[in-house]
Amino acid sequence: MLYARLIIMRLFKAVIVLFLIVILNFLLIQLAPGDPAAILAGEAGAADQEFLNQLRERFGLDQPMYVQLWRYVSGIAMLDFGYSYRLGVPVFDLIMARLPATLLLTGTAFLISLVLGIIAGSMAAARVKKPSGSIIMALALVFYATPLFWVALMSVLVFSVYLDWLPAYGFYTVGAGYTGFALILDVAKHLILPATTLALFFMAIYTRMTRTSMLDAAQQDYVKTARAKGLKPSIIQRRHVLRNALLPIITLAGLQAGQMVGGAILTETVFAWPGIGRLMFEALQQRDYNLLLGIFFFSAALVIVFNIITDLVYRLADPRIKGAS
């Protein structure tokens, strides 16, 4: 009962945020260079005046601003994002076709970064004053400071060009005609480089978060009790400290994960991964504003969905937190 209300509240909030983003998109279209009629209609500058006037009438651009805004918002409420002007295809269809690849990439990267980040962070927390702990944190700082797109390029250089271990581009081997398990294996091989390079940056963040969170948890009374009981430090670390530090880590990680969509734009561009990030790069190069804004809306929606899921998982996992807030 409580969860049902909570979900409704969160969805209500999400709708408001998405509504504000739609309004932001509408304002951005007004700011975009060129005629909004041309942008909305999905036509390049080639159209003649008469045609543009027709378009203006059809899209209601001769109407006052608030009517236009209403039309735009109600269009998006019915999943009508207009047309991509270079491709002549509905923006919604384009995004839907590319979404699975992005979800696969960001999902894999999230799991890799979370697992490795928690392992590295708890190792660093257990070795606070030792050089090995400092080395882990120094590495985390280096990964944090490295530009994502550069790591991606350098990994292509090392693992595809010099070592020739992994494919550098694409989603699967074109023309190989794999099916079934062979196809899954092929996609997995293509996934390794993009997912690990995207994961590195977030792994660095999660390593720092885990360490802080575990050092906080280690200050708690029950840890002192466990130590006084004479439990082995390794057992205390695993059973008492890590378990209690884990929940806040996962929550914070979930909130950070929204930014992964942004990182995916860079990795997908380097690896020609056919997701919405690569689509955004293509839209950028063509100055396809309507497509660009559609993808922007979807990436924000992804972040919101992710946040709601994290929130619900957190509340389900930790019964101490009640529906409030």
Partner 1 sequence: MSFFARFAQNRGALVGLIILLMIIAMAILAPLLFPESPWRMVQRPFLPPLSQEGFPLGTDTMGRNVAAGLMHGAWVSLLIGLVSTSVALLIGVPLGAIAGYYGGLIDDILMRFTEFFQTIPNFALAIVLVAIMQPSVTSIVLAIALVSWPPVARLVRAEFMSLRNREYVEAARLVGQTNTTIILRQILPNTLSPIIVLASLMVATAILLESSLSFLGLGDPNVMSWGYMIGAARTVIRQAWWLSFFPGVAILLTVLALNLVGEGLDDALNPKLSRER
The site for partner 1 (CB under 8 A) is made up of: 17, 20-21, 28, 31-33, 128, 138, 141-142, 144-150, 153-154, 156-157, 161, 212, 215, 258-259, 261-263, 265-266, 269-270, 280-281, 284-285, 287, 289, 292-293, 295-296, 299-300, 302-304, 307
Nearer to partner 1, 6 or 302 (CB): 302
Residue 147 CB, nearest distance to partner 1 (Å)?
5
Nearer to partner 1, 24 or 183 (CB): 24
Nearer to partner 1, 18 or 183 (CB): 18
What the block records as the tokens of 182 is 């062979």
Task: Report in angstroms the alpha-carbon separations of 262 from 121, 183, 311.
Answer: 24, 28, 21
Q: Are 172 and 183 in contact (CB under 8 A)?
A: yes
By CB atoms closer than 10 A (0-12, 13-18, 19+), residue 165 is exposed
Residue 90 CB, nearest distance to partner 1 (Å)?
20
Nearer to partner 1, 51 or 86 (CB): 86
**What letter does residue 176 receive in the DSSP assignment?**
S
Residue 29 CB, nearest distance to partner 1 (Å)?
8
Q: What angle do CA 110, 306, 320 make, to 5 degrees?
A: 100
Residue 175 CB, nearest distance to partner 1 (Å)?
21
Closest CA to 200 of 266, 247, 246: 266
Which residues make beta-bridge pairs with 161?
none
Residue 87 CB, nearest distance to partner 1 (Å)?
17
Residue 201 CB, nearest distance to partner 1 (Å)?
9
Q: Are 260 and 198 in contact (CB under 8 A)?
A: yes
Residue 127 CB, nearest distance to partner 1 (Å)?
13
Secondary structure class of 83 (helix, strand, coil) = strand
Residue 183 CB, nearest distance to partner 1 (Å)?
27
Secondary structure class of 90 (helix, strand, coil) = strand
Looking at residue 262, its amino acid is G
Nearer to partner 1, 25 or 108 (CB): 25
| Whole-angstrom distance, CA of residue 238 vs CA of residue 232 | 10
Phi, psi of 83 (to 5 degrees): -110, 150
Phi, psi of 165 (to 5 degrees): -90, -40
H-helix or E-strand spanning residue 68: helix 65-77
Q: Are 121 and 207 in contact (CB under 8 A)?
A: yes
Nearer to partner 1, 253 or 292 (CB): 292
Residue 195 CB, nearest distance to partner 1 (Å)?
18
**What letter does residue 48 receive in the DSSP assignment?**
-
Closest CA to 264 of 320, 195, 189, 169: 195
